[in-house]
Amino acid sequence: MNLQDDIRDKKRPFLITGPCSAETEEQVMSVCQAIAANGNAHMLRAGIWKPRTRPDSFEGVGEPGLGWLVNAGKATGLPVATEVANAKHVESALKAGIDVLWIGARTTVNPFAVQDLADALKGTGIPVMIKNPVNPDLSLWMGAFERFMKAGLSDLTAIHRGFSVYKHPKYRNVPNWELPIGLKEHMPEIPIICDPSHITGRRDLLLEISQKSMDLNFDGLMIEAHPNPDNAWSDAAQQVTPEALKALLSKLVLRSREIGDSLTSGLEEMRMKIGILDDRLFEILSARMKISEELGIFKRQHNVTILQEEHWKKLLAARLEKAGEMYLTPKFIRSIMDDIHQESIRHQTRVMNPDLL
């Protein structure tokens, strides 16, 4: 099969679903048949070898599960995919007849492991999906694609599964949408699938993230489904039944990827207005930085430090107080003020210590 072509040819979203882990032959077959009966899935997934954070967790059924998944594929007529993390996994998965392989987030971080996998897959032409690395590093993600491309594997697809952080109040893995958007920019030929299950870690947020990914023009979704989610042997809180998955997908609003001629002129006008405002915004920022430099010269002449904490706190508080009336979120104000402040410090440093730079 050619996965890139399939993804392009099918109506969005290209749906990959199945359990986080293959647990028993019966579980794999029953969930895959229920998924197929929904009529909206394009590929089945199940983890056979599970990269678990702690060693006492269920680490996958291993090789016997490959046959269960392949049989579920045959019974439903859908291609099947699983995660491989080393050359031994590759050999077993290929021998069993798995159609598509994916590289997990904990493997993408390691260039040695990625290279070993690319070497092991050389010449097979099998489609490979590459999850983002656990840390938000676009180059590392791109590097993994490049390693497979150099090994002659061209049927590659990206999976965005979010980035790990310590104790986030909402997400299991923060989406950092700018990274998959960056990947689209640098590697436009690579389709992108969003994995809301691993981003959210909880089933009540799946729709929100799925919708967002569709609005950001992603090609498809990978969502974990289980016949009895609460009793799943891994990732119980984020899995849904095939019925709940069907309901979720029916709520997705799919908007057109292209702008028709009739809409173009209205859109052009709004884009022009935004362009004009952006020009003004940056002219103002540039003028502000010139004043920062004057300030730096003044501070140098009077031998005072660049950072004046009390003043900075006051500036920030005054801005945050106006968040509501400006229709801006405090989070945005905080981050933009931090960036402006850092740039201002750079300008002041330049004029304060001309000999050091």
Applying CB under 5 A, which residues contact Mn ion?
A: 20, 235
Query: CA Rg, the chain, in Å?
Result: 25
240 binds, among ligand PEP, Mn ion, none (CB under 5 to 8 A by kind): none
Which is closer to Mn ion, CB of 32 or CB of 351? 32
* DSSP summary character for residue 9: H
User: Using CA of residue 344, residue 350, residue 353, residue 357, what is the dihedral sign?
Assistant: positive
Q: What's the closest the beta carbon of residue 88 comes to ligand PEP, in angstroms?
A: 18
Q: What's the closest the beta carbon of residue 174 comes to ligand PEP, in angstroms?
A: 13
Q: What's the closest the beta carbon of residue 54 comes to Mn ion, in angstroms?
A: 14
Which is closer to ligand PEP, CB of 173 or CB of 344? 173
161 binds, among ligand PEP, Mn ion, none (CB under 5 to 8 A by kind): ligand PEP
Q: What's the closest the beta carbon of residue 201 comes to ligand PEP, in angstroms?
A: 10
The residue with its CB nearest to Mn ion is: 20
Which is closer to ligand PEP, CB of 175 or CB of 296? 175
Which is closer to ligand PEP, CB of 134 or CB of 249? 134
Q: For residue 162, what are its two tokens?
A: 């979010």
The residue with its CB nearest to ligand PEP is: 104
Q: Where does this chain bind ligand PEP (CB under 6 A)? A: 20, 47, 51, 104-106, 131, 161, 198
Query: With the CA atoms of 337, 342, 343 and 345 taken in that order, what torsion angle do they form, in degrees rounded to the nearest 10?
Result: 120
Q: What angle, 0 to 180 degrees and rounded to 10, lies between the N-to-C axes of helices 242-251 and 206-215?
A: 40
* Residue ranges of E strands in the chain: 14-18, 43-45, 80-83, 100-103, 128-131, 156-160, 163-164, 173-174, 192-194, 220-224
Q: What's the closest the beta carbon of residue 37 comes to ligand PEP, in angstroms?
A: 23
Which is closer to ligand PEP, CB of 89 or CB of 161? 161
Which is closer to Mn ion, CB of 20 or CB of 35? 20
Q: Are 38 and 246 in contact (CB under 8 A)?
A: yes
191 binds, among ligand PEP, Mn ion, none (CB under 5 to 8 A by kind): none
Q: For residue 133, what are its two tokens?
A: 């690395």
209 binds, among ligand PEP, Mn ion, none (CB under 5 to 8 A by kind): none
Which is closer to Mn ion, CB of 219 or CB of 235? 235
220 binds, among Mn ion, ligand PEP, none (CB under 5 to 8 A by kind): none
Q: What's the closest the beta carbon of residue 303 comes to ligand PEP, in angstroms?
A: 54
CA distances from 142 to 7, 111, 179, 252, 267 (A): 20, 11, 11, 29, 32
Which is closer to ligand PEP, CB of 120 or CB of 223? 223
- Reported residue count of the chain is 357
Residues 10, 220: Cα–Cα separation, whole Å: 10
Residues 256, 260: Cα–Cα separation, whole Å: 9
Q: What's the closest the beta carbon of residue 102 comes to ligand PEP, in angstroms?
A: 7
Summarize the chain as % helix, strand, coil (round to 5).
Answer: 55, 10, 35
Please state the φ and ψ torsions of residue 257, each to the nearest 5 degrees. -80, -25
172 binds, among Mn ion, ligand PEP, none (CB under 5 to 8 A by kind): none
Q: What's the closest the beta carbon of residue 173 comes to ligand PEP, in angstroms?
A: 8
Q: Is 128 helix (H, G, I), strand (E, B) or coil?
A: strand
Please state the φ and ψ torsions of residue 61, each to the nearest 5 degrees. -85, -15
